[in-house]
Chain A
Amino acid sequence: MVQTVEHNPARFNEGDHVQVTIKSPIGHYRVPTYIRGKRGTITKPLGRYINPEEEAFGKNAGNKLWYYMVSFVQKELWPDYTGAPEDVLEIEIFENWLESI
């Protein structure tokens, strides 16, 4: 018999616009501060991964979260950006750090 694991469906799809949550929890977090509060676009859903933020405290217990590649326009990240307007930054972010806009 095939065992199915219950989990919530992914909240975002490719092309969705998202905003990174502004929060400053204490601990080991994988979202660099320069990206917090910024707006970007999902370029690729990456599947579900163990949340390293919980794993760091021994609380992984197979708890996986949806994970996405998100793209940010450089000129919006850095007001004094001098490169081309098309330049982007891509970064992986877990779903618990993303909000719909």
Chain B
Amino acid sequence: MSKEHNHPHDPHTPVEHDETPGYYEILEISIRELLIEKGLIKPDEVRKQIELLDSRSPVLGQKLVVRAWIDPEFRKRLLDNGNRAAEEMGITIYDDTAFTVLEDTRDTHHMIVCTLCSCYPRAVLGLPPDWYKSKQYRSRAVKEPRSVLAEFGTIIPDEVQVVINDSTASQRYMVLPLRPEGTEHFTEEQLEKIVTRDTMIGVTLPKIEQ
């Protein structure tokens, strides 16, 4: 600490609870407290569910993609029934949704969106990024997917079909991207590194680092 900085003070910003909760926050608290009061749920169940949600991350999706890249039989099972294949890898799809994997090919590129809200394969990718929930992305992804892709630095040639999947109720999509050429000798760990969250949303492609 410098000599000039010798006046007595608390180095930490005081913790203050002076923010007024918004409409939806009050609504959420009221419903939660009512459900607890009526004995329909327990406070620990709410906490447990948050803990479960927070325990998921794109690491799980990476493992599924890499396994599908190196094991053709697993790939078939994953495309056929995502829930069963994920559970085979010890990943529970806890929210009663149909986990649907979309296979990219040389002729087809997939990209996911939820125009109504923020449906996202949380069980395998964790919480969605803020941009995924933005009105801009949600409205533009369905109407001009190629322009949105270009803004993410992804240029899909015109001869490749772009399929945008709008998730509205029971399905949760994840993109199975194409394994890039030049990765034939890669270890599983090296492959996992190139399968980033955004490649499984379909806004970018796995790239070999220069």
Contacts and interface: CB of A to CB of B under 8 A. Distances in A.
B142 interface: yes
Contact of B167 (A86, A88, A92): A92
B167 A84 contact: no
Interface in B139-167: 142-147, 158-167
B169 interface: yes
A27 interface: no
Interface residues of B, number: 23
Contacts of A67: 169-170
B159 A32 contact: no
Given A32-B116, A34-B142, A90-B164, A84 B158 contact: yes
Contacts, number: 71
B169 A49 contact: yes
A32 B142 CA distance: 11
Contacts of B163: 87-90
Could you tell me the dominant secondary structure of chain B's interface residues? Answer: mixed
Given A49-B170, A92-B171, A87 B161 contact: yes
A86 B107 CA distance: 10
B142 A46 contact: no
B98 interface: yes
Interface of B: 98, 115-116, 142-147, 158-171
24 contacts: A30-B168, A32-B116, A32-B166, A34-B143, A46-B170, A49-B169, A49-B170, A52-B169, A67-B169, A69-B171, A82-B147, A83-B158, A84-B159, A86-B161, A87-B145, A87-B162, A87-B164, A88-B161, A88-B163, A89-B164, A89-B165, A90-B165, A90-B166, A94-B169
